[in-house]
Amino acid sequence: MSTDISEADAANELMRLARVIARHDKLYHAEDSPEISDPEYDALVRRNAELEAAFPHLIREDSPSRKIGHEIAASPLSKVAHEVRMMSLDNAFSDEELAEFVARVRRFLALDDDEPIEMTAEDKIDGLSCSLRYEHGKLVRAATRGDGQVGEDVTPNVLHVAGIPQELRRDGVGAAIPDVFEIRGEVFMEKDAFAALNQRLMDEARAGAQAKDAPFEPEKVRQFANPRNAAAGSLRQKDAEVTASRPLRFLAHGWGAASEVPAETQFGMMQQILEWGVPVSPALMRCVNLEEMVAHYRELADMRPRMDYDIDGVVYKVDRLDWQKRLGFVAKAPRWAIARKFPAERAETEIEAIDIQVGRTGKLTPVGRLAPVLVGGVTVTNVTLHNRDEIARLGVRPGDRVVIQRAGDVIPQVVENLTRDADRPAFAFPDHCPECDSEAVAEDGEVDVRCTGGLICPAQRIERLQHFVSRGALDIEGLGEKTITDFFARGWLESPADIFRLRDRREAILALEGWQDKSVDNLLTAVDNKRAPDAARLLFGLGIRHVGAVTARDLMKGLRDIRALPEKAAEFAAYRDENPRGPDEKESPFNARMAEAVKRIFEVRTDGIGPAVGHALADFFHEPHNRDVWQDMLGQVSPPDYIVETQDSAVAGKTVVFTGKLETMSRDEAKAQAERLGAKAAGSVSAKTDLIVAGPGAGSKLKKAAELGIEVIDEAAWAQIVADAGVAEPTDS
């Protein structure tokens, strides 16, 4: 498009563009009924930008480039302080509790028994609370509830939510629009729109897999669990274009900061908000007594399964605003409002089968497959049975008739087994993993049964491989979740050792979309640089249960040679088998015995490693599959002996805790520095703590430090301690 026009013509065209774009913005954002295509709209915006660049002195006050939300949000959501706190509501769960709420209001206001107390009643929408600030009728800011005092700025995003106008209207009817008025309500997604969104995500994932010639795994597609989560996730986006692609709606239920409140009642004020162009709940009504309040609750409870959107109760508010002011607030809730919640909806059905799913951390979770049943407008076919103990408690087996409910109206669960006395054998919970046939065990004191297959278990491999290359472990740059998942699907990565064989696949990687010579070589160089890894990082990278980064370092301080670990694990396993807990021996002495054995066998020098670590190592290396993976890995890497050189420093012999966000180093790097300074790095604050290094967001640990009188320094002061001691950075950090 040409900008070779006169100044007068440019001014006229800019005026026309401002009006046209404003009209299409309204059609698209407020009314969800665009009349032109996206490319046609983009052409108008580009023309406006070209003219403004050529004639900057002609930029208008109502220019599309100045409109809130016109630019796509590309930075993390910023925080916004609410001028008037966004409160929560107290709950009532019965007619009696609702009656007590009315009586409490009457007592507080010292009203006679025959004085009527009118209330508004409206459905409690299961969505995301949002506050819209209008100044002189124009939307200037939108924020989520957050913690009630500080929320997230979602101003660009709400422009894509149906029911939120950029400007309040007044058609000569009703009160004038106040200079400042914050409208508060719920952003939500209708049930049909939610189902369509999840289907779209599934379709897009399928198409993406086909385009990459990769297997499609529907169980790994990330879908929203319910409409509320979908609404929250869609609104709280860094990129407003994502929000624009999601069908969100808004209904107002109140207000916050206001320079003027042009009504005397809650109901009157909500009608005024509706007249200004912001929708309110169609279920909003005024109740003159308790009987009407209860009747409205029962009516909405009956309508609930057939409604377009999810609700989880009814909200009642004292209608008179002067009474609201007198009633005030207690703690986090107003005295003049309450939410009467619906009970979890229940239904009867039959358990047709019980399947065992293996999670990414090895946990075996039983899932009941149900004869399909409608619960609260949603067809339920699966129900979680949690763990082995829950199955035993309920006595459930395939063929049982059960009562299920949607807990919190989200997760289906069994609440009663109607046929537990039927003559059928109990369900046999597996003692081997259904995915890899490794042993499945529950540690002492735990109810969860876990697969010990670790790195060879198909259900755990991707998660384990991601952990192996993560920053705290081998820290191999270029192997992110997407790359590992892709390589795994192609059969290139099945164990840690395969990572070091990627150089043999250079040409195959180069043939993939998005890979160039430089990126492939950078990846392979990053892999080669880890062929002599730090032994503690290598051990931590294996993802053995209870062996975190600190525990791995403490183990290696004693063992030094990581190759000795399988032999030590076998020695502990033999001791455990030969010295079981006696029939009269209490748990505490038994654990003390096991802890001493761990300390002796693994040559542990600290008190932080107990029997849980010994059991985990014994179980891991007991599996032949894991030993094979271990030997294969050691055929590709050569970790040197682990030697921690400590030196005298100002913190030698002291216990140090790092808390908050460290800006110049990772938490693991900081702990490693402390160890080289002769200090012990702990994870929690106690009376034994000598020093706390605090970064931004330290939180509760600082409060505890103050109570215990512990010295607190910042990261810069810690860096000076390190510099004074002359401690060099580790070569593999």
pLDDT at position 35, please?
A: 62
What is the β-pairing status of strands 346-358 and 119-125? unpaired
Range in 8-12, 183-187, 242-246 with the lowest mean pLDDT: 8-12
Q: What is the Cα–Cα distance from 52 to 47, expressed in whole angstroms? A: 9
Percent of residues, the chain, with pLDDT higher than 90: 43
Question: C-alpha angle 470/472/476, rounded to 5°?
Answer: 40
Specify the pLDDT at position 567. Answer: 95
Q: Is the pTM of the predicted complex or chain greater than 0.85?
A: no
Is residue 261 a contact partner of residue 321, using CB atoms and an 8 Å limit?
Answer: yes
pLDDT of residue 293: 96
Domain boundary assignment for the chain = 7-66, 91-194+227-341, 346-417, 535-634, 655-725
What number of other Cβ atoms are within 10 A of residue 176's Cβ?
9
- Identify residue 667 by its one-letter amino acid code: R
Task: Read off the pLDDT of residues 360-387 as tens digits, 9 standing for 90 and up.
Answer: 678 899 999 999 887 765 678 899 898 8
* Triad 104, 110, 111: Cα angle to 5°: 90
Around 273, how many Cα atoms within 13 Å sit in the side-chain half-sphere?
Answer: 31
- Count the helix, strand and coil residues of the chain and give each as a percent rounded to the nearest 5: 40, 20, 40
> Alpha helix (H) ranges present in 143-245?
155-158, 191-211, 227-235, 240-244
Residue 347's SS3 state is strand
Topology adopted by domain 346-417:
OB fold (Dihydrolipoamide Acetyltransferase, E2P) (2.40.50)
Lookup result for tokens 């989200």: 410
Is the Cβ–Cβ distance between 356 and 350 less than 8 Å? no
Structure tokens at 677: 């300074």
pLDDT at residue 729, as a whole number: 43
Q: Which CATH class is domain 91-194+227-341?
A: alpha beta
* Interior/surface letters 184-221, b for 16+ CB within 10 angstroms, e for the rest: bbbbbbbeebbeebbeeeeeebeeebeeeeeeeeeeeb
pLDDT of residue 525: 95
What pLDDT does residue 71 have? 33
CATH architecture of 535-634: Orthogonal Bundle (1.10)
Mean pLDDT of 472-494: 90
Q: Which pLDDT tens digit goes with each residue over 299-329?
A: 998 888 788 898 989 999 999 999 999 999 8
Q: How confident is the model at residue 73 (pLDDT cuts 50, 70, 90)?
A: very low
Range 655-725: architecture per CATH: 3-Layer(aba) Sandwich (3.40)
Structure tokens at 586: 């209490």
Between 43 and 473, the more confident residue is 473
**Distance of alpha carbon 724 from alpha carbon 727, whole angstroms:** 8
Segment 523-544 shows an average pLDDT of 93
Cα–Cα nearest to 48, from 30, 28, 68, 70: 70
Nearest to 103 by CA among 287, 321, 289, 266: 289
Of residues 22 and 350, more confidence is placed in 350
Q: What number is the average pLDDT over the span 423-431?
A: 92
Identify whether the C-beta of residue 541 lies closer than 8 Å to the C-beta of residue 633. no
State yes or no: pLDDT of 284 exceeds 90: yes
Q: What does the DSSP 8-state code read for residue 646? A: -
**Mean of the pLDDT values across residues 192-216?**
86
Average pLDDT over residues 255-284: 95
Q: How far apart are CA 118 and CA 597, in angstroms?
A: 72
* Least-confidence region, from 22-36, 345-359, 510-524: 22-36
pLDDT tens digits for 563-572?
999 999 999 9
| Residue among 142, 133, 165 nearest 237 (CA) | 142
The pLDDT of residue 407 is above 80: no
Mean pLDDT (whole number) for 434-460: 82
Question: How sure is the predictor about 68, in pLDDT bands with cuts at 50, 70 and 90?
Answer: very low
* pLDDT-derived band at 75, boundaries 50, 70, 90: very low
Higher pLDDT, 331 or 688: 688
Least confident of 36-40, 323-327, 341-345, 638-642: 36-40
Side-chain-side CA neighbours of residue 521 (13 Å) = 3
Other C-beta atoms closer than 10 Å to the C-beta of 658 total: 26
**Catalytic sites, residue numbers:** 124
Q: What is the overall mean pLDDT for the chain?
A: 86
Q: What is the mean pLDDT of residues 345-354?
A: 89
CATH classification code of 7-66: 1.10.287.610
- Output 278 or 360, whichever has higher pLDDT: 278
pLDDT for 733 equals 33
Condensed to tens digits (0 to 9), the pLDDT of residues 605-632 reads: 776 788 989 998 998 899 888 899 999 9
44 within 8 A of 65, measured Cβ to Cβ: no
Task: State pLDDT tens for residues 648-699.
Answer: 788 888 889 988 888 887 776 788 788 778 888 887 788 889 999 988 877 7
Instruction: Give residue 50's pLDDT.
Output: 81
Q: Which of 33-37, 408-412, 549-553, 654-658 comes out lowest in average pLDDT?
A: 33-37
Could you tell me the pLDDT band of residue 100, with boundaries at 50, 70 and 90? very high
